[in-house]
Amino acid sequence: MTSLKGIAASNGIAIAKAYRLVEPDLSFDKKTIDNPAAEIERFRLSMEKSKSELELIRKNAEENLGADKAAIFEAHLLVLSDPELIAPIEEQITNEKVNVEAALKETADMFVKMFEQMENEYMKERAADIRDVTKRVLSHLLGVQIVNPSMISEEVIVIAEDLTPSDTAQLNKQFVKGFTTDIGGRTSHSAIMARSLEIPAVVGTKTATAEIKNGDLVIVDGLKGEVHINPTPETVQQYQQVHLQYEAQKAEWAKLVNEKSVSADGFHVELAANIGTPKDLKGVKLNGGEAIGLYRTEFLYMGRDQLPTEEEQFEAYKAVLEGMEGKPVVVRTLDIGGDKELPYMNLPKEMNPFLGFRAIRLCLEEQDIFRTQLRALLRASLFGNLKIMFPMIATLDEFRSAKKILEEEKQKLIGQGQKVSEKIELGIMVEIPSTAVLADQFAKEVDFFSIGTNDLIQYTMAADRMNQRVSYLYQPYSPSILRLVKMVIDAAHSQGKWAGMCGEMAGDEIAIPLLLGLGLDEFSMSATSILKARSQIRNLSKADMEKLTGEVLNLQTTSQVIEAVKNATK
């Protein structure tokens, strides 16, 4: 048995056969051939195979993910039957006597380049379709398998170098029992999604793809952050036991679903959920979420090949607001960038995507996209208790510009006879240190803060949240982070505003006592963490935690903080 150590990204134990979700090697040599007819036959056969495969993928995607996500594969099928693409390939094979791999690649590359240079957004998007289809046909020519998460149809553990958020969204919980990756951190979005899907996961193992072969038996221990490859029957048995204990613990927590989130000395906090799609509401209900503290709307824009329309967005926001039946719903405007990419927007690659053109920066520049979203939100505001939140605010000017655009769209809608709620609170994510430091000034103009520690920690410590090599610097309990959090909460309270936290730290066992002591009003986390957090808070005294934080803020290191919390909560 080989064991790997990684980062515990999503709780639970999973035991199943490995399924490698790894990019195949599609390299080949350009060759001269002497039988063009046979080569063309090979080409046609691989096109046929690609077609049947895509039809199956489209069907699976439609059943599991919905018609909008399946539309991408529809576009791919169209490319496969396009004579404008097929004819030049066959001509090149006949005239130049080259192998089909070379003819296919050269013709496809020419079309990709041509489409990429077009002004029209729709045409630009076709470049990505051609690239994908070419890969598929090449894989059949070369006899290697292209993997696709939506094709998995038996119980497996997915092994990957990394999973993008849209790969993760395609994982079918029925079959994917767990996953492990070489890279990534606890706050990479694939880890966050694994938690909301309740799929045990270990990320940042560095060598999972090198060590694990297809079909190996794998145990993913998402509680400790360990992966065991081809374990002995005794180890499997031990882990089955751990799994049962964990399930029993969850059943205990589940008894608190309708209870209040009050500390032992009677102080109420709000335990809210982070969601990515209206489908997540079911989990919020099952786990007793009192509000939505963060709706990451960017997932609405992913896994498709064009921007969602105002109407599609309106329907999604309305569904969430209605589903929450008047409870607060904080919707964050588009936060694209970092590890969340939108290939169809064709944004230039950046050296430091987490420090680049993303989130509110992009929205203030690409105002059509921003205004469409704001209109959808304003129209949906009538259906529940909507609060709008801007991501990645670094300066007051950014906040004021975004607010002005929102106000303009509101007036336009009212001018057109539309009704809009008069009580929409407007807040910001505090995830950039400049904003935390200037929180007293922001607090005069916003209605609330939500502290985004996933980013705040990476920017404060200058340690990429996706990079496991610097994950030792990713320290939520560092006194430096705790002081920033205190500044933000105090600033909000001094202006009679509320402060929440929607970074993963809000659901963390060591952080919760400290956040309670610091006076955080709202804790927003993966829905699956809520009941455990509620159970913990009900056993803590706020007065004692205030005393604890008073001491902790003057400590020097993270390990001292952890020790102090453990001593105080024993």
**Would you tell me the crossing angle of helices 479-494 and 511-518 to the nearest 10 degrees?**
30
Nearest by Cα to 310 from 368, 362, 364, 365: 368
Token pair 């909560």 in the structure block, residue: 569
Please choose which of Mg ion, ligand PEP, none residue 369 contacts, taking the beta carbon within 5 to 8 angstroms, the exact cut-off set by kind: none
Nearest by Cα to 216 from 426, 15, 480, 23: 15
How do beta strands 292-296 and 270-275 pair? parallel
Q: Cβ–Cβ contacts within 10 Å for residue 124, how many?
A: 16
Encoded one letter per residue, x for contact with ligand PEP by CB under 6 A and - for no contact, window 405-444 reads --------------------------x-------------
With respect to ligand PEP, which residue has the nearer C-beta, 420 or 430? 430
Query: According to CB under 6 A, which one of 196, 381, 453, 558 is a site residue for ligand PEP?
Result: 453
**What residues between 413 and 432 interact with Mg ion by CB under 5 A?**
431
Encoded one letter per residue, x for contact with ligand PEP by CB under 6 A and - for no contact, window 468-507 reads ----------------------------------xx----
Task: Give the interface segment with ligand PEP, choosing from 2-10, 175-183, 394-402, 449-457 (CB under 6 A).
Answer: 449-457
Considering the complex, what minimum distance in angstroms separates the CB of residue 296 from ligand PEP? 5
Q: Return all residues near 83 (Cβ < 8 A) that are at least 6 apart.
A: none
Encoded one letter per residue, x for contact with ligand PEP by CB under 6 A and - for no contact, window 312-351 reads -----------------------x----------------
Separation between Cα atoms, residue 498 and residue 481, nearest integer Å: 19
Considering the complex, what minimum distance in angstroms separates the CB of residue 391 from ligand PEP? 7
| Position 211 contacts Mg ion (CB under 5 A) | no
Separation between Cα atoms, residue 128 and residue 347, nearest integer Å: 13
| Position 455 contacts Mg ion (CB under 5 A) | yes
Q: Which helix (H) or strand (E) holds 202?
A: strand 201-203
Strand partners, 273: 292, 525
Q: Are 369 and 385 in contact (CB under 8 A)?
A: no
Considering the complex, what minimum distance in angstroms separates the CB of residue 425 from ligand PEP? 18
Angle at 448 between CA 443 and CA 453, to 5 degrees: 95
| Position 455 contacts ligand PEP (CB under 6 A) | yes
Considering the complex, what minimum distance in angstroms separates the CB of residue 290 from ligand PEP? 18
The Cα-based distances of 454 to 188, 198, 319, 392, 563 in angstroms read: 9, 20, 27, 12, 23
Encoded one letter per residue, x for contact with ligand PEP by CB under 6 A and - for no contact, window 167-196 reads --------------------x---------
Q: Are 517 and 485 in contact (CB under 8 A)?
A: no
Active-site positions?
189, 502
| Position 466 contacts ligand PEP (CB under 6 A) | no
With respect to ligand PEP, which residue has the nearer C-beta, 191 or 229? 191
**Would you tell me the crossing angle of helices 453-461 and 479-494 to the nearest 10 degrees?**
130
Question: Which residues of the chain form contacts with Mg ion (CB under 5 A)?
Answer: 431, 452, 455
Question: Which residues of the chain form contacts with ligand PEP (CB under 6 A)?
Answer: 187, 294, 296, 335, 431, 452-455, 502-503
